[in-house]
Structure 1
Amino acid sequence: MDWFELKKTMMFPSSLSRRTRELLAFEKVLDGTLYDHIPYPFFKSCDADTTYIPINRRRPSIRSNLCSTVVDDSVSLLFSQSHWPAVVTKTKEGADDNDREHLLRNIISDLNLSSVMEQAAVMGSVGSVAILIQAVDSELVIEIKRTCFLEPTFSLFDVRKLLRVREQYIVDADGLLRAGFGDHPPGNYWFTRDFTENETIWYQPVRLDSPLRGEDGLMRDDVRSVSHGLGVVPIVWIKNLPGTDPGSPDGKCTFAAGIDTMIDADYLLSQTVRGLRYSADPTMVLSADEYQLPGMMPQQIPKDASHAISLPQGGEAKLLEINGTGAAASLNMWEALRALALEAMHGNRAHGDRVTAAQSGRAMELMCLGLTWLTGRLRRSYGEFGFVSVLNLICRISQVVPELNIGGKFHGPIEAGNISLVWPPWFEPTFGDMQTMANAVQAARSANAVSVDTAIRMMRPATHVQHVGEEKNKILDDIKAHDERLKALDGQVQDRDPTEV
């Protein structure tokens, strides 16, 4: 069974769009539930009426989850604690803005934006993700939203500028009651909400079978609708990877290229396990005429060593055993399929148990070259186009909403723009790497080939300096204090009486 056939067997409401069904199918692959809708377990070969069940109509007993593994590895290399980027801010004149940079670092910590961006990167691996940022009762609230139920509208002149985002999905009457919409007759309803540049518009629920569809059937809910007046849609829309259609609302799925191979590998491993279990308990065959069997022998005869089987003379008992060559060939095929799937998805194909000694950061980068290439592309999507946009939107909201509560603190209006990211190295440098780096920086400084700022930036992978300007001031203060101590010692020596020696 391939991915195309498996998608056709998934039960999605026909009222959903093709894009929504595609994203929902990718989500099932990501959370490992892509086989849950198949009713028959893998070891059940016949139905109740003894009808044979083909293998492609059974759930695999082994699920490798290679796709989610690649996503977890890439996101860990993107937004984990040791790979979190440093935020750098500049003034309009291009000078370092230390105060605003320090303020943004505090906001990132208070809002726990590292966890938000990490979760957004996992959810967005299916193609896209949306981050809703709004002020609710003067408190900043951040919500990650699945884009399968969102329809964005972009500007014709700027494909990155959102004009409107419509949220629409199916909910039952009980769900409406829990959400505070009151009692509705039993049935399914469309929940609809629009996020525009100046307001958030709520609509009254519409029955799924209503003849009025689209804009004609929507009635504005003035009680819940609010005006935010930001001038921009309060949503950061992040496309996962660059795709073939730049006008598409979704990027390329991280793991789409490896789904078919992963499905083949799951079925192959399941069949291998089935064969190994059969080898442990093979089928018994008795060769004897029926009239020669002593008494009415039961159809199920125990094959345990503690049970002896008595057959008439000339009878024979056999076990239908198989050799292990098929299992070995299946495992070799599984290794080939795994490598093929990881190569297609740019996953990590290196085996940690084969590394006999500590490797340098550069060696580890070369071993995981495909994964670093994938994460490098994700850095643009979720870093420059995602995380920076989130910070700019927070700053914009702080300018519009007075006394905005951000993570329990009031910071006042914050200037937006001129925000960039500095990413750490892919892998932590070893002591040998740091010594080589320090010697190179020292030689460059002694020859006056680089400035102090450049030297600090060169040593940043080893020292994890957050701000170059602050580190430079600390270095200059240390040099100044050292010179003052030397002057004080020189003065003590000159004031000393030579006859005391």
Structure 2
Amino acid sequence: MSFQIIAARHPHDKDFPRATGINVRLSLLNGTFYSYQPYPFHQEYAGNEYIPLHDRSPNTHTGTNQLRTVIDDHVSMLFGDGHFPEVDTANAVVRKAAKDFIKDVGLVERMREAARIGSVGSVGIHLKVLQRPGGPARMFVDVHTTAFLTPEFDPYAPDTVLKVTELYKVRGERVREMGYSVPDDSLQSLWFVQRVWDDLGEWWFVPWKVEDQSRSDRPHVPVIDHDKSVTHELGFCPWVWVGGLNAEIDGPCTFEPGIEEAIQLDMLDSQIGRALKYTMDPTLLMLVPSAVPMMAAPVAGETSESEGQTPAGQGMAKTPSTVLTMDAEGDAKYLEIAGGGIEAASAYIKRQKSNLIETLHGDRVNPEEVTQGHQGAKSLEMLNASLLMHTEKLRVTYGEGALLRLLRMALKVMTSVTVTMNEEVVSVSGSWTDLALRWGDFYPLTPSDEDQTATALKSLIDTGIMSKETATKVIAGHYDIENVAEERAKVEAEQAAADLRAQAQTEHAAKIAPNKSSGLES
């Protein structure tokens, strides 16, 4: 079964050439990829015609489930518990505001969703600013699939979105539900719905019939619906686009190399029950008429009659060729299977799953094979080197390319609009040009790892290769050090206090030393 055969059965629309490819790959993530297969797997015939395998939906999803597991592994290593980056800046007000924003909008979960959806090639992240008349504003973050979204980038800054256009089709009855006037005879007709975001606002357009789009005598010109449209004048388009740039708005699908193998695994695992019956040494039961003599297997130490033949009507016998014969009217059927072929089938599936994980840079740690002994962080990093290298790429794409850009947008909003976050009014001032993300270790350090790290950092500091501040930055994520400069100031203050105590003790010892020598200690 081929991916292209199944994908061709999914809905296609000539007006949205990108949508089919994106939606088909999204269906692999949400488990609906086989929804358009004509027949269930157990149905072999439609009338008198045999149903080929490529027309059936597999009854097990071993491969596609494994594919989703690998994507979840990537997302977990990127934005999972303990892996979300810390915000780093010298401006304490900005740092707190950024952390409040992350908590208030549930950005950890939103970024996980974005990384999972974005694995198909692109994802859109929308920063919404909602404000009641006369009240403070609140910010929200929405994650969108991009099948019906088209970005426009700044030609002089190709990583900056100037405009995002949403265009899709709905039935006329849905247009009526949106509050527009639709004739009764057009309720089942297809209509275009369009919305545009730019640096000034969110613009809705009055829906129009699809058939009006292609009229040569009077081409349709979209009309802005000012009642639904909203002007925000933020000065920037509140969207972050993760994918390609300029004309190539979609990047590569990260799980594309494993799709064919995943489908093959689904079909193989669905077939394995039937395949075992034909490959695992079945015993054949033959019901032989009484007039036909039955072949009996020779028994050790005994001599069979008539060179191994038993007179008719004397019961049941099994030959060395796994044929079981009985005295009855003629018939034959498979009676049992020995089970010898299941090892080969299981080994093949296991090998294919391993190949799929390796192809997609998945987690290679098998809980059943992990030893009971010490598993240090560095050992796990070496074992999962492929997974971590891929996650490093995702950190650039979704960290510096998406999360950091979204944080800067939110901070710009806080400087111009009164914002409420976590039920507190927040205002931001000052500069955040040094805003950065600080990523932690992929695996928590063990006490042994901590000792080795401390020794190595001390050696680098003592030899003048690394400063104490840089060494603190290296371990900041693991020890939850929010601000390196403040931590260094605390350390220096404690060291200065310790030096003063040591100096005072030395001076006190010097004063009483003469008295001790003369025996007049006070």
Pairwise TM-score range, normalised by the shorter structure: 0.7 to 0.9
Deviation at 1:17, TM superposition (A): 1.6
SS at match of 2:158: coil
Displacement of 1:482 after TM fit? Answer: 2.6
Q: 2:486 aligns with which of 447, 451, 470?
A: 470
Q: Does 1:412 align with 2:414?
A: no
Q: Deviations over 1:137-189 (max 9, x none)?
A: 23222211111110112233332222221111222345445544466642232
Matches for 1:381-392 after TM superposition, within 5 Å: 381-392=397-408
Is 1:428 equivalent to 2:444 in the alignment?
yes
In structure 1, runs of 5+ residues without a counterpart are 90-95, 290-310
Aligned to 2:361: 346
Q: CA separation of 1:457/1:33 partners in 2, compared to 1, >3 Å: closer, same or farther?
A: same
Amino acid at match of 1:330: A
The residue correspondences of 1:137-176 to structure 2 (distance < 5 A) are 137=131, 138-176=137-175
Deviates more, 1:147-156 or 1:257-266: 147-156
Question: In the alignment, is the contact (CA less than 8 A) between 1:70 and 1:348 conserved in 2?
Answer: yes
**2:8 equivalent in structure 1:** 8
Task: Tell me how large the CA RMSD over aligned residues is.
Answer: 3.1
2:235 to 225, 231, 238: 231
Residue correspondence of structure 1 range 78-89 to structure 2 within 5 A = 78-89=78-89
Which residue is equivalent to 1:67?
67
Question: Which string of whole-angstrom CA distances, capped at 9 and with x for unpartnered residues, describes residues 410-467 of structure 1?
Answer: 2224555432112112211211110011122233334454322022123335423222
The aligned residue for residue 193 of structure 1 is 195
**Residue from 355, 359, 370 that aligns with 2:370:** 355
Cα 1:212–1:443 shift into 2, 3 Å? same
TM-score by length of 1: 0.84
Match runs of 1:254-293 below 5 Å: 254-276=254-276, 287=287
- Which deviates the most, 431-440 or 102-111? 102-111
Question: Secondary structure at the residue paired with 1:464?
Answer: coil
TM-score (norm 2): 0.81
The answer to whether the 8 Å contact 1:140/1:407 transfers is no
Counterpart-to-counterpart distance in 2, 1:398 and 1:178: 36
Asked whether the 8 Å contact 2:86–2:477 carries over to 1, the reply is no
Task: Report how many residues are paired.
Answer: 468
Instruction: Report the 3-state secondary structure (helix = DSSP H, G, I; strand = E; otherwise coil) of the residue aligned with 2:448.
Output: helix
Q: Which has the larger radius of gyration?
A: 2
- Residue 222 of structure 1 aligns with an amino acid whose one-letter code is H
Partner of 1:303: none
Paired residue for 1:54? 52
Q: How far did 1:108 drift?
A: 1.7
| Alpha-carbon contact 2:194-2:204 (below 8 Å) kept | yes
Q: Quote the sequence identity (%).
A: 27
Structure 2: gaps of 5 or more residues:
132-136, 290-325
Could you tell me which amino acid in structure 1 is paired with residue 161 of structure 2? L
What is the SS of the residue equivalent to 1:428?
A: coil
Flag the 1:183–1:473 CA change in 2: closer, same or farther, 3 A: farther
Matches of 1:346 and 1:379, distance apart in 2: 15
Q: State the distance in 2 between where 1:313 and 1:324 align.
A: 28
Distance 1:153 1:140 in 2: 23
- The residue identity in structure 2 corresponding to 1:331 is S
Q: Residues 398 and 404 of structure 1 are in contact (CA less than 8 Å); yes or no, is this contact kept in structure 2?
A: yes
What CA distance in whole angstroms lies between the structure 2 residues aligned with 1:3 and 1:486? 75
The one-letter amino acid of 2:143's match is I
- The 3 A distance-change label for structure 1 pair 313 and 226 is closer
Contact 1:275–1:327 (8 Å) recurs in 2: no
Distance (whole Å) between structure 1 residues aligned to residue 468 and residue 52 of structure 2: 70
In 2, are the aligned partners of 1:396 and 1:416 still within 8 Å (CA)? Answer: no
Amino acid at match of 2:37: I
Q: Please tell me whether the aligned partners of residues 122 and 146 of structure 2 are also in contact (alpha carbons under 8 angstroms).
A: yes
CA contact (8 A) 1:364 1:427 kept: yes
1:51-109 CA distances to partner (integer Å, 9 max, x unpaired)? Answer: 211112111111021221111001100011211112122xxxxxx32332233222222
In structure 2, the partner of 1:92 is: none
* Counterpart Cα distance in 1 of 2:426 and 2:478: 33
For 2:208 and 2:483, locate their aligned partners in 1 and report how far apart those are by CA, in whole Å.
53
Distance 1:422 1:219, change over 3 A: same
